[in-house]
Structure 1
Amino acid sequence: MEKERIIFHIDINHCFAQIEEMLDPSLKDIPMCVGGDEEKRSGIVLARNLKAKEYGITTAETLRDAYRKCPHLRVVPAKYSEYIYYTSRVKDIYREYTNQVESYGLDEAWIDVTDSYHLFGKPYDLAYEMQKRVLEEYGLTVSVGVAWNKVFAKLGSDMIKPSGMVIITKYNYQDIVWNQPVEDLLFVGGKTKPKLNDMGIFTIGDLAQSNKSKLQKRFGVKGIEMWNFANGYDNAAVDANGYVAPPKSIGNSTTPPSDINSLREAEVILQHLCESVASRLRDEQKKGHVVSIYPRDTNLKSFSRQRKLQEPTNISTEILKVAMELLEDNYDFSILPLRSIGVHVSKLVDDVNIPKQINLFDSIEQEKTRELTIDKTIDELRERFGFHVVKRASALLDKETENFDAKNSNSVFPGRKKDYDLDNDNIENDILYKKDKRSQKIMEEYLKNKGEY
């Protein structure tokens, strides 16, 4: 008989804000959030503490809106090296009990203790022990979900914050899980929710008891996947030792220091973004069939447009050409400037053994080879000597963004993991270079300075 799995999902509550409170305890007594610099136009709430939550301040809203709710809000700049350091140390605690630890962003992790919990006592006592150790050793509260699968474990950790623990079993899951809103189920995002609501599906229980064939007809394979998740049919393994699944799309976005007032200004920003996306594609040894843009105007209204390519690419100039065509065809700068813009490449394939269509014009293939060689040369020079050693001429057109390293800059905000949506292939599992070489370097430098590396 197969042993029933015991899986924890542990989430550091309001992670960035809580680490700031741990470093400066006086911040616990005032409304505080971690946010960007409004003057540099990266002014959003990255995390907020419990005092700020009382004022209705939410993650990802603009600092301008947050100040309206709480004029005396204290905004603390993000310290990414600290967050990387402490979240890594917290996960080291988990790894003392099992090597089956899978990160889900900096602040969350799945832990499979099926084969090891008996060494430490009962599984639920072990979950409490981990929770207690994180608080005692680092002063951070965590919420824990315990279940026999990853989806329900994640759901459990989200239900009681801070310091909650929810245990979901095959005997109680209908009472606990099925009453929750359908959008609380992992991978059911904002775009899927209204479509499910239109089908009369409002709770996870509604989804679990709905007609599987109708879901498949409406959502395809993903409809079956949602139905399985709602019923607890999730056999996905917790990936050992931080294994990261191959990305399904790679992208980048930014809010520049000034509004984007013309197509020419947009091209300068897009050049940086497309270079970073193309470089990440090559790092992953991938090419993509679909290029998408995500503009947002100064009224904070956003939209997306995409185009499928005849042949997959990881060349920056090809990605830029399509992105510019999409923007020119779909946006009128005379109405409103843009506040931010993003580029994604999806429908990825391995950059090996890709069948090539024979081209009647050798010059086109020669041009592709030339552009790819330029991209790779720029990559190598920047890797060896730093980003500023080589720039394209177009970068010099805007002094404010001339030195913008889109690939490694912390001012580039990737799509949040909780925004992934089963209906959007461009966002689903958008890892955005999750291997995160720069974060590793930051942490190593931090530890070196601390004398611990």
Structure 2
Amino acid sequence: MIDMERIILHSDINHCYAQIEEMKNPHLRHIPMAVGGFEEKRHGIILAKNDLAKTFHIKTGESLREAYAKCPQLTIIHPHYEEYLYYTEQIKDVYRQFSDRVESFGLDEAWMDVSESSRLYGDGVSIARMIQKKVLQQFGITISIGVSFNKIFAKLGSDMVKHMGLVEITKANYKQMVWPLPVSELLYIGRSTASKLEACGIYTIGELASLPSGFMSEHFGKVGEILHTFANGWDETPVAKTTEQAPIKSIGNAITAVKDIVSFEEAKLIYYVLTESVASRLRESGLKGNVIHLSLRNTNLISFTRQKTITQPTNLCEEIMPVVLDLLKKHYDFQIPLRTIGVSISGLRKDDGYIQMNLFTSEKQREKQLVLEETMDAIRNKFGFEKIQRCSMKLDQKLTDFDPKHDHIIHPVSFF
């Protein structure tokens, strides 16, 4: 029996939030418009922009002030996350008409395995065209689709051409189409990893693919080995079935502050709000974790992350915060102010109630802290986030006047 080659599609809703706003209010298609936060609070960056805004070189991630400087007549629409969740699910329901294997990758992206569907609807390109046509007819929204024999190259294809783009990467053409591209185009190669690869003389995906076996794992660990697999087109990761829910890999929150964060003390105030939220969400999910990640982005829009693994998995703010502050103190000097900061917890496992005894930790004190934090959760859930706060939050209410648990619900999804 000959194994049938997989047909994987990856769809990407072009400038998703902006297109949904245009769908709701068609007149927005005729003016420069972007979806962003509140200027007075600056939570507070450009999240998506339409085609007319793009002609003014408006960039996703820049502040509203920077965007207005480029285009004073820019219309800012505040985000409506619940509606984005609703409409993107409606669009994914179109995908599900063609396959029972539709795996979301964030709100606006999804993989589809249409290998079996090809017997009914034709090859991958034909199916992709049908999906694009249906979505455009039903919602007036354009999507780009990549077609390939694995998930990585399918996603790469969807990124190549926007506005109803359709790119097929096959086993016959991937060396010509993929290998000349910069390594930074490959999924999960960010600025830092790309710089390290370039320092080794590796500039293209083809050069990465051609490395001798073991080089990437030796220099970059397990992730390096995975990236080498991606570059060679060897990824065999299945597309999850629609009924399968991907396990949670991490829980976190981030915020773009109302003003530039110029000191450790200012960052500390915000991190208390964020970390309380993350700890609360861990407890609600019945999870705890032992890898604490810090994410920082400065006013030059340069981002980096740091992390630390702790011995005892936790879901308590009072145990997470010392690690957060230690990472911050060791790795950032505030010579350049920060704009966005975040914290997340990975290495997750089920909180089964059992705790490994520790000679250096008072379990009685830990139990008291758990009761205290759960009580705070209950009060906030019933009466509102602002009804119980630390006294330190009053030191700079402009910085701490936000509810990360309920106001920031859209997070990227990890492939791993």
TM over 0.5: yes
Structure 2 residue aligned with 1:117: 118
User: In 2, are the aligned partners of 1:101 and 1:242 still within 8 Å (CA)?
Assistant: no
What is the 5 A alignment of 1:16-415?
A: 16-241=17-242, 243-260=244-261, 263-296=264-297, 304-328=305-329, 338-352=338-352, 356-359=356-359, 364-384=362-382, 386-388=384-386, 390-400=388-398, 404-410=402-408, 414=411
In the alignment, the residues of structure 2 paired with residue 189 and residue 297 of structure 1 have an alpha-carbon distance, to the nearest angstrom, of 17
The CA deviation string for residues 334-365 of structure 1, in whole angstroms up to 9 with x for no partner, is x676544322333444434866144267xx11
SS in 1 for 2:242: helix
**Which segment drifts farther, 104-113 or 397-406?**
397-406
In the alignment, the residues of structure 1 paired with residue 280 and residue 82 of structure 2 have an alpha-carbon distance, to the nearest angstrom, of 23
User: In 2, are the aligned partners of 1:102 and 1:242 still within 8 Å (CA)?
Assistant: no
Structure 2 residue aligned with 1:446: none
C-alpha change, 1:90 and 1:263, in structure 2 (3 Å) is same
C-alpha change, 1:338 and 1:121, in structure 2 (3 Å) is closer
C-alpha change, 1:234 and 1:293, in structure 2 (3 Å) is closer
Identity of aligned pairs, percent?
A: 47
**Which segment drifts farther, 399-408 or 233-242?**
399-408
In the alignment, the residues of structure 2 paired with residue 71 and residue 26 of structure 1 have an alpha-carbon distance, to the nearest angstrom, of 18
In the alignment, the residues of structure 2 paired with residue 131 and residue 173 of structure 1 have an alpha-carbon distance, to the nearest angstrom, of 23
User: In 2, are the aligned partners of 1:298 and 1:337 still within 8 Å (CA)?
Assistant: yes
Structure 2 residue aligned with 1:443: none
In the alignment, the residues of structure 2 paired with residue 337 and residue 179 of structure 1 have an alpha-carbon distance, to the nearest angstrom, of 37
C-alpha change, 1:120 and 1:25, in structure 2 (3 Å) is same
| 1:233 Cα deviation from its structure 2 partner | 0.7
The CA deviation string for residues 129-168 of structure 1, in whole angstroms up to 9 with x for no partner, is 1100100110000101111111111111111111111112
SS in 1 for 2:138: helix
In the alignment, the residues of structure 2 paired with residue 37 and residue 262 of structure 1 have an alpha-carbon distance, to the nearest angstrom, of 23
C-alpha change, 1:261 and 1:66, in structure 2 (3 Å) is closer
In the alignment, the residues of structure 2 paired with residue 358 and residue 43 of structure 1 have an alpha-carbon distance, to the nearest angstrom, of 43
C-alpha change, 1:229 and 1:339, in structure 2 (3 Å) is closer
| Paired residue type of 2:343 | V
| 1:307 Cα deviation from its structure 2 partner | 3.9
C-alpha change, 1:429 and 1:102, in structure 2 (3 Å) is closer
SS in 2 for 1:407: helix
* Paired positions, count: 415
User: In 1, are the aligned partners of 2:254 and 2:340 still within 8 Å (CA)?
Assistant: yes
SS in 2 for 1:106: coil
The CA deviation string for residues 101-142 of structure 1, in whole angstroms up to 9 with x for no partner, is 111111111111122332334432221111001001100001
SS in 1 for 2:9: strand
| 1:286 Cα deviation from its structure 2 partner | 3.1
User: In 1, are the aligned partners of 2:105 and 2:415 still within 8 Å (CA)?
Assistant: no
In the alignment, the residues of structure 1 paired with residue 147 and residue 282 of structure 2 have an alpha-carbon distance, to the nearest angstrom, of 36
In the alignment, the residues of structure 2 paired with residue 339 and residue 203 of structure 1 have an alpha-carbon distance, to the nearest angstrom, of 32
Structure 2 residue aligned with 1:439: none
User: In 1, are the aligned partners of 2:36 and 2:45 still within 8 Å (CA)?
Assistant: yes
Tell me the TM-score normalised to structure 1 length.
0.82
User: In 2, are the aligned partners of 1:97 and 1:117 still within 8 Å (CA)?
Assistant: no
User: In 2, are the aligned partners of 1:292 and 1:306 still within 8 Å (CA)?
Assistant: yes
User: In 2, are the aligned partners of 1:103 and 1:242 still within 8 Å (CA)?
Assistant: no
In the alignment, the residues of structure 2 paired with residue 3 and residue 209 of structure 1 have an alpha-carbon distance, to the nearest angstrom, of 27
| 1:295 Cα deviation from its structure 2 partner | 4.4
| Paired residue type of 1:198 | A
C-alpha change, 1:326 and 1:177, in structure 2 (3 Å) is closer
| Paired residue type of 2:273 | H
SS in 2 for 1:170: coil
SS in 1 for 2:233: coil
**Which segment drifts farther, 254-263 or 99-108?**
254-263
In the alignment, the residues of structure 1 paired with residue 124 and residue 330 of structure 2 have an alpha-carbon distance, to the nearest angstrom, of 57
SS in 2 for 1:39: coil
C-alpha change, 1:200 and 1:133, in structure 2 (3 Å) is same
Tell me the TM-score normalised to structure 2 length.
0.89
In the alignment, the residues of structure 2 paired with residue 230 and residue 302 of structure 1 have an alpha-carbon distance, to the nearest angstrom, of 25
| 1:259 Cα deviation from its structure 2 partner | 4.7
| 1:327 Cα deviation from its structure 2 partner | 3.8
| 1:57 Cα deviation from its structure 2 partner | 2.0
| Paired residue type of 2:366 | K
In the alignment, the residues of structure 2 paired with residue 128 and residue 242 of structure 1 have an alpha-carbon distance, to the nearest angstrom, of 25
User: In 2, are the aligned partners of 1:182 and 1:188 still within 8 Å (CA)?
Assistant: yes
C-alpha change, 1:260 and 1:186, in structure 2 (3 Å) is closer
SS in 2 for 1:194: helix
SS in 1 for 2:191: coil
The CA deviation string for residues 399-435 of structure 1, in whole angstroms up to 9 with x for no partner, is 446663211213x775x56xxxxxxxxxx669xxxxx
| Paired residue type of 1:343 | V
SS in 2 for 1:256: strand
C-alpha change, 1:189 and 1:393, in structure 2 (3 Å) is same
The CA deviation string for residues 368-423 of structure 1, in whole angstroms up to 9 with x for no partner, is 1111122233334444555355444444554446663211213x775x56xxxxxx
| 1:87 Cα deviation from its structure 2 partner | 0.9
| Paired residue type of 2:404 | A
